[in-house]
Structure 1
Amino acid sequence: MSAPTATDPRATVPRSSVRRSVRLGAGRIRYELRAYFRQGDSVFFTFLFPLVFLTIFSVAFSTTDFGRDSAGTSVTAAHYYLPGMMAAGLLLTGMQNMAVEIAGERSDGTLKRLGGSPLPVFSYFLGKMGAVVVSGLLQAVLLLVVARVVFQVPLPTDPAKWATFAWIFLLGVATFAVLGIALSALPRSGKSATAVVIPITLILQFISGVYLPFSQLPTWLQNVAGIFPVKWLAQGMRSVFLPDSFRQAEQTHGWDLGGVLLATMIWLVVGLVLCRVTFRWIHRDN
């Protein structure tokens, strides 16, 4: 039997199928973004929430000295809280928003209709993931612009710092997105989704050094927070935006970017496994 050639339909069908799935996924990204930014409550509690808190902390603690850099310049509240708000943005845009949205779509029958449609599963998740990446990037840019223009926060000038930011951001977005997909199976209905998901994300933020200085938390609570990815991503963001002298305040007295990479990769794998095990187009009892 002859091998299929480049013009043989047996060789071109899989390739065209992939192209079609990607094209449909790109269309879903646009659809998801339009739907997301049309929901005022979602935009406020996920997209603008970190910016609101950065503003509140910057004003409320404007006279507080959070430390000094190597040149002796005081680190302002806006400078100190910017890394935490970056990590919070990844958590809210990725995990919280994804979990609430998918739980709602499962509850109102949207997922059931999509599951019975010709839309490939790959295209559906490409749309979700792509929308999270785009909205997360817009959110990060907005935080950086406001921090620099309004609060005069000095941003890194070393390209290596921005390279570190890039891989932490992309890995964080992917990790929280898949964890959000897995978490969407927990609420029993779309109406209960926010009541189930938001307390989880709030607790993770408070114990992970987002709102409170991590070094001031009890050692046992630091160890608990170290199990979860939020702590590591906040630490990674601090390595990008805070002076190197602040590394001494970390639990291991260093930025430990290798630990950030390892812990986040582990949670990414855990999230993918949980997605595979828990995701359903409808609840089992429906």
Structure 2
Amino acid sequence: MTAVTTPTQQQQQLPSMWNVGIARGLLEVKLFFRQRDAVVFSFAMPIGLFIFFAGIFGGNDLGGGVDYNQVLLPSMLTAGLASTTLTNLAIWIAIDRDNGTLRRLVTTPMPRGAYFLGKVIQMVIVGALESIALLAVGVFVYGVDLPATPGKWFTFGWVTLMAFATFGILGVALSSLPRTSKSAPAVINAPVMLLLFISGIYLPLTMLPGWLQDASGFFPLRWVAQGLRSAFLPDDVASATEAAGSWEHGRILLVLLAWFVAGLVVCVTTFRWKRRGDG
């Protein structure tokens, strides 16, 4: 006599969201590094730009005896995190939506949270590898000094975690903006590249016009870069490298939290599993 399996028993036999999410995350990492354009533009470009700018401007004193490369490294860490989290998530989720991957996933028993967990795992692994590669180039090739005290390392840690959280949630939020997968790279990359140029990533904020400094203060890229610079630079040089003349850690935390909450609200209210026009 054949035993009858109830729906409850079938549900209990399914893998948990965590198991499925971890498996998807590892698969997402493999797929990322198999995509040449993703590796070049999301992973390798910040490293290449660091080498490019360090080769041209390295050795210049920005004030207080601080070398340009010492300021450039934390700024490029910010660019790398934005590239591998915000930009990468927004583009690839838009592609998954346009090619029908998201629509097919919601028809399977896979928990929807497992999809996002997989993206988070991919984001963290790729972003961490990007940061390690930048640190290695900065320290071993250009002699950049790492954070000098436990307090500086703590600052580096919490700012990096906030960058992952804020950029990640904004990447998911912006994924609904492109109409098609073909338009996604242009729609996402254009505003991010503009913000990189006005947020003190390639040039110190003090070298930008006052109105650009004020405009950049509204966006999270500037504050992540400023927070990471505070971990790599002596406290007494903030007056020479920062628009406000101080690190403003409290303001950095508040701005990033505000953007995280705003991104979460946008995700909840606008995220779509189907393309526009699909039933």
Instruction: Indicate yes or no: 2:64 matched with 1:68.
Output: yes
Partner Cα distance (2:244, 2:60) in 1: 25
1:259 maps to a residue whose letter is: R
2:210 maps to a residue whose letter is: T
Instruction: Indicate yes or no: 2:142 matched with 1:142.
Output: no
Matched residue, 2:23: 27
Contact 1:51–1:143 at 8 Å: present in 2 too?
Answer: yes
Following superposition, the deviation at residue 283 of structure 1 comes to 2.2
Deviations, residues 216-262 of structure 1 (Å, cap 9, x unaligned): 21222111111110011011011011222221132221101111100
Q: How does 1:189-200 map to 2 (within 5 A)?
A: 189-200=180-191
Deviations, residues 99-149 of structure 1 (Å, cap 9, x unaligned): 110111111111111121111111110010111011111111111111111
Structure 1: tracts of 5 or more residues without a match: 1-11, 70-74
Matched residue, 2:255: 263
Local SS of the residue matching 1:215: helix
Partner Cα distance (1:205, 1:101) in 2: 20
**Equivalent residue pairs, number:** 268
Local SS of the residue matching 1:28: helix
Following superposition, the deviation at residue 159 of structure 1 comes to 1.2
Following superposition, the deviation at residue 285 of structure 1 comes to 1.3
Find 1:221's aligned residue among 187, 212, 218. Answer: 212
TM-score (norm 1): 0.89
Local SS of the residue matching 1:43: helix
Find 1:206's aligned residue among 197, 207, 212. Answer: 197
Contact 1:55–1:78 at 8 Å: present in 2 too?
Answer: no
1:127 maps to a residue whose letter is: G
Decide whether aligned partners of structure 1 residues 18 and 122 sit closer, same or farther in structure 2, where only a CA change above 3 A counts. Answer: farther
2:153 maps to a residue whose letter is: W
1:256 maps to a residue whose letter is: E
Find 1:157's aligned residue among 138, 142, 148. Answer: 148
Contact 1:57–1:77 at 8 Å: present in 2 too?
Answer: no
Instruction: Indicate yes or no: 2:268 matched with 1:272.
Output: no
Contact 1:129–1:174 at 8 Å: present in 2 too?
Answer: no
Local SS of the residue matching 2:16: helix
Contact 2:89–2:171 at 8 Å: present in 1 too?
Answer: yes
Identity among equivalent pairs (%): 43
Partner Cα distance (2:259, 2:34) in 1: 31
| Greater mean alpha carbon deviation, residues 57-66 or residues 181-190 | 57-66
1:41 maps to a residue whose letter is: D
Following superposition, the deviation at residue 18 of structure 1 comes to 11
1:111 maps to a residue whose letter is: L
Matched residue, 1:44: 40
2:38 maps to a residue whose letter is: S
1:162 maps to a residue whose letter is: W
Find 1:282's aligned residue among 241, 266, 274. Answer: 274
Aligned CA-pair RMSD: 1.8
Structure 2: tracts of 5 or more residues without a match: 1-7
TM-score (norm 2): 0.92
1:32 maps to a residue whose letter is: E
Partner Cα distance (1:182, 1:114) in 2: 19
2:69 maps to a residue whose letter is: A
